[in-house]
Amino acid sequence: MSKIVGAETTAKEETHSRGRVIAYWVTTALLAFVVGSGGIGDITNQWGTLETVEILGYPVYLLTVIGIWKVLGAIAILVPSLPRIKEWAYAGIFFEMTGAAASHAFVGDYGAYAYHIFTTIGFAALALVSWALRPKSRKL
């Protein structure tokens, strides 16, 4: 009887672990796509980026600086090893997204139902979820 209970417990742990790994990769891939594509858009001054920077009152060159850091952060959270770099990347993504939300709120750029504020807070939350779900091999 104890062998059966032990097997059930092991099966539940493996299923939970598999679900956690899947959740980690889904959130991390989505976060890397959002941050990386946003960084490329910033670097190349795609639609909306120049207007957003002007609304917020930041200099245009800031797009290039932030864009490069976003692309590097997206790469850092995807590659294996480098746990300290990953920690910095997650922190940078979180600070950039919450800073963007605060910037939009402070200048009154609420847009259509505060779209810019809620999406950036949502991406910050996604970064937290990805960070919390990461496997032991990706932790310090």
Query: Residue 121 sits in which domain range?
Result: 2-138
Burial 13-26 (b: 16+ CB within 10 A, else e): eeeeeeeeeeebee
Question: Which residue has tokens 């290039």?
Answer: 64
Q: How many domains are there within the chain? A: 1
pLDDT digits (tens, 9 = 90+) for 59-111: 999 999 999 999 999 999 999 888 999 999 999 999 999 999 999 999 998 87
Q: Which two three-digit tokens encode residue 89?
A: 């990347």
pLDDT at position 2: 54
Beta-carbon neighbour count of residue 109 at 10 Å? 15
Q: What's the pTM?
A: 0.84
